[in-house]
Structure 1
């Protein structure tokens, strides 16, 4: 049957995707109201039959014949990629997709111009949308440093390795906290396009972020083959005075919690991994 072909192609689908399929297959009845009626009837039947699982309004997972809806696993990254029409998996979710995440998190954050969309909690995982960094030009916000991956036959948009690195250092609290970000990025051993990384970092127009990126690269300069010229460009954009890696200055007010890095004008946490510090990050 035609719908079986659709289900085999879409392990997860939106009602808009189903509408497009029906419009192609039913050209003689392509009036929008008829398509909507056909879709509602189809989904109602297959939901009762256990062939589809409602994830949220307008979003369904398909269920193979040998499974029940309760048994069917649903790919969390596919869900995140369909949270909004323009969703881009970013921050800790992007770290995980790139195979860098230090630990598992029950939250996936996507970039979207539709950040007003209500968060979704499904099977213990929270999915939410945030706007792109406001410093970015609109034309770059959801295009610069974005890759399209194939996942179970469906397209998933994710920040590339370079943008992921910068975004996580820019907004560590969306990425699991400073400790998680640092430990995750320490596992990075892939080739980095430093020209693109530098371009994106400077487009954020944030001195603290430029310094954080520079500090990370300087700590791994030999392994990541970072030329001194790249560090010099970033040093030129560092803060004029000491800035804290974390916006919450409590880290710097507790003796021993932070150390000053003159090269980057950064106050960097020193007690990563301690329970008390994790409480500060929470």
Structure 2
């Protein structure tokens, strides 16, 4: 693929998704924008340089990553009035676990056009491979590296009734899987890695099974952990219902108290109403 004498783009910021492995996944539209941008904001010029060589073009590259200063972002925004700047990450969709959102927000605040070119995203690709529920999912990025902060993050997510997605590195994978199993219970899960590359794999099992599998040796490549939602909650017991009713009856009439507890517990409102009458001594 090559581009010669490209027409200039309209000034503004172009968010360009790039391949997460297989360079053939670069869309024709993304290749076209990269070939015509006045400059490309990149995480690593070596990685993006390889992608540009693949499509046969050379463009100026500006480093923009976690360690970039506020001044770098200000300089990029200042150029958007007269230049087309493409924003890319090393792999996948920019802004997913990278600082690109600050640049987008600054560009919008300055009144410049922002265009997105959708494409590869490792989290969504892993979700499609895992065979776990896809109707609701939550992407949580990387878990903290320190055990206490990691446990707190997992506890915070534990009750979310959605499939959970995490990015992880090979050396930390086993520890993260073990922590997830300990805090969430032995849920179904999947470990997807090297997506779209020659050695792509998606291993499924329970969290404890996966933790044991990867305890011996850290796998290579970029990794996504996919964890199933929690199972159905245990139904409220009679004692639980009585406690909730007693509290509600201090604030509400009998009918409204029964309705509130029915909504919280999923128990039958008519049965709860009768129980509330008994608790009030009016049965």
TM-score (norm 2): 0.25
Larger radius of gyration: 2
Q: Return the structure number with greater relative CO, CA threshold 8 A, min gap 6.
A: 2
